[in-house]
Structure 1
Amino acid sequence: MWQARGRRQGRIVIATRPRVSRIATRAAARLTDAARAGLAWGPPRPETDPLRRLTTPVLLLLAALCPAPAAEAAPIAFVLNSADATISEFDYLTRREIRRLPVLREPHHLALTPDGQHLAVGDTSGNALFFLDPVTGEMQNHITISDPYQLFFSPNGRYLTVAGLARDQIDIYDAHSYQLLHRIVAKSMPSHANYAPDSSVVYVSLQQSGRLMAIETATGRVIWNVPVGSTPAGVLFHNGQILVGVMGTDYVAVADPADGHTIRQIHLQPGPHNIFLDPGGRHVYVTARVSGYIDQLDPTTLALQHSFRVPGGPDDIVFAPDGKMWATLRWRQHVAVIDPVSGEYTTIATGRSPHGIWLNNDIPRH
């Protein structure tokens, strides 16, 4: 439950006698000054004391040179329960749920802000963007934003692209002020997105129309809009090409960023949904939500290496410091923790229809 904390303020009334000696008055004033300065109780040294005049500047200099250490992040896995309107937070070391925070209606995806200070959570039918502290997991605030189903910050930290699946729109915002810069009509059901490495172009899949479109981020101009296959979803810019999970088929389409044409198809388990590159760049993973598999590909050749059977609708993936993969299981109300070497996994209960997931093990420090 989300609780707000506050302070109670009170007054201390000191009764004094009508007549107070000058010595008592001066002593009280000195004690008050000491308390305000945060000094130890006791008689202050005279202003002419050379030791005080020497140590005070030294202490101030040491304080400036040796600031207090930054708070370490608690090991938190954030899971968005889209059908429960909640966010579950787990200690990813003990795998126990720490808390469950309510949102408005339907949280699906999340992203860390470019400065690493906030974790943005899109509540799509609630038309709200919630901000959490990525270190402590506490709720900070929220703003009104239209249909934030998917959200992606650009690599250069200047833009936020929001795919509005229900409203057939793609919105590009200023990533700092959240001012709307461009709104692009996208028929229909814009789903997932990814940027070119230089942030100049964002690529968005259109689920219902079976297309992939490229948009110039600075102007909002549509560069191209081409067919890619039935029900495209996940998009990943990888090694100079665009990978698209085409859910209505058994393949990942490999597209040319210049004009969007399909170069080749990588045939995998039926229903490839989303695509992820592990932190070391050693493998590409593709979740096949419908068939219940996670496919592991060679990052260079995109050849299939392993298929891990993970029933329950594997959807989004993140990677823990111990090398395990955490995957949301949309249809089982669980998260799977998978060993990518053996394929063995355990599950953790969460809310209904878990979708987006993020671990705070890699927060950038500024």
Structure 2
Amino acid sequence: MFVLNSLDANVSVINPVTWEEIRRIPTGKEPHHLYLTPDERSIIIANALSDTLTFIDPRTAEVQRTVRDIVDPYHLRFTPDMKWLVTAANRLNHVDFYKWDGKELTLAKRVATSRTPSHIWIDSKSTTAYVSMQDSDELVAMDIATQSIRWRTKTGAMPADIYGSPDDKLLFVGLTGSDSVEVFDVSGVQPSSIKRIKTGSGAHAFRAAGDKRHLYVSNRVANTISKLDMQRQEVVDTYPVPGGPDCMDVSADGRFIFVSSRWAKKMSVVDTVEKKVIKQVPVGKSPHGVWTLQHAPR
């Protein structure tokens, strides 16, 4: 299991049996998010202030390589067909499209955006990248083939993470400056905001429960995690989590949520049956991204 320590410039490796931090792997400055390549051969850690990507073997936790000159990679996502890597430059207000040939990344285009591009979601057909604009309160759709903006629409306050429904028709957007998740219908030529689901203050990051119906959202200010029914578009359960819950992963059987407690320097384990935190593992400063090898389907 990996937990990114954003202010320590490293990643904690945790034994999920003993719940001990067994070592730390140096990265670049401010590692915020990580992503498993679709072929599952590498975990990529985006180091925003070092302009680098660290590739790590997800099974052995060995560093495979470091890719340099990736400008301000705050958030990242591969297209499902593995032809493109898309990165959001949170500080520099642009989104980069990199071609991927299986070995090397080549910058195809840098697209200027509005203020503070935050999180990225890519549809299942590898055609559209959706990016939240945290300080412009916008959601932007980008055509991947042409690397151009298709549309933009206003959102609620401080949009952060994005999650798409399995049929690609709906987008769920966490409103960190509010207490809700905003739902957009993106099945037409233009998007439509159809609902706001009240979850808790600081609605921020998502992780699928693994059943293609339910979705978890961390409410960073409220110190809770909400379970959403994507079909009914409502909250069906809530779990208390101290310390500013942020990024999450879910165990393969769907019972446990592993979440970074951002302000407490810990990784918390939530039992969704007992509905409480059952374990907290000390990690580094400002823990952010979380990933486990034995995880529920995304």
TM-score category by the smaller chain? over 0.9
Name the one with the larger strand percent: 2
In structure 2, the partner of 1:336 is 268
Structure 2 runs not aligned, ≥5 long: none
In structure 1, the partner of 2:138 is 211
The question of 1:169 aligning with 2:94 is answered yes
Alpha-carbon displacement from aligned partner over 1:243-278 (angstroms, at most 9, x marks no partner): 101111121111121322211111221221112211
- In the TM superposition, 1:50-199 aligns within 5 A as 77-144=1-68, 145-175=70-100, 176=102, 177-199=104-126
CA distance in 2, matches of 1:285, 1:200: 25
Alpha-carbon displacement from aligned partner over 1:198-234 (angstroms, at most 9, x marks no partner): 1100100000000000000111110101111110001
Cα 1:340/1:117, change in 2 over 3 Å: same
Q: Percent identity?
A: 34
CA distance in 2, matches of 1:116, 1:275: 20
CA distance in 1, matches of 2:276, 2:195: 31
Bigger Rg, structure 1 or 2: 1
Q: Highest relative contact order (Cα 8 Å, sep 6+), 1 or 2?
A: 2
2:50 counterpart SS class:
coil
| Structure 2 counterpart of 1:270, from 201, 204, 213 | 201
1:117 counterpart SS class:
coil
Name the one with the larger helix percent: 1
Q: Structure 1 stretch 212-221 or stretch 263-272: which is displaced more?
A: 263-272
TM superposition shift of 1:196: 1.4
* TM-score normalised by length of structure 2: 0.93
CA distance in 2, matches of 1:342, 1:243: 27
CA distance in 2, matches of 1:276, 1:260: 23
* TM-score normalised by length of structure 1: 0.76
TM superposition shift of 1:342: 2.0
TM superposition shift of 1:282: 4.6
2:294 counterpart SS class:
helix
Does the 8 Å CA contact 1:120/1:132 hold for their aligned counterparts? Answer: yes
Alpha-carbon displacement from aligned partner over 1:289-329 (angstroms, at most 9, x marks no partner): 11111011223102211221112110111012353110001
| Structure 2 counterpart of 1:287, from 215, 218, 221 | 218
CA distance in 1, matches of 2:57, 2:252: 20
Does the 8 Å CA contact 1:135/1:360 hold for their aligned counterparts? Answer: yes
CA distance in 1, matches of 2:53, 2:225: 30
Cα 1:341/1:283, change in 2 over 3 Å: farther
TM superposition shift of 1:280: 2.4
2:86 counterpart SS class:
strand
CA distance in 1, matches of 2:290, 2:221: 19
Alignment root-mean-square deviation, CA: 1.6
In structure 2, the partner of 1:253 is 182
Amino acid across the alignment from 1:215: M
Does the 8 Å CA contact 2:251/2:296 hold for their aligned counterparts? Answer: no
Count of matched residue pairs: 288
CA distance in 2, matches of 1:282, 1:95: 29
CA distance in 2, matches of 1:363, 1:303: 21
CA distance in 2, matches of 1:221, 1:233: 21
In structure 2, the partner of 1:242 is 171
CA distance in 2, matches of 1:117, 1:333: 28
1:361 counterpart SS class:
coil
CA distance in 2, matches of 1:310, 1:357: 15
1:125 counterpart SS class:
helix
Does the 8 Å CA contact 1:116/1:363 hold for their aligned counterparts? Answer: no
CA distance in 2, matches of 1:131, 1:86: 13
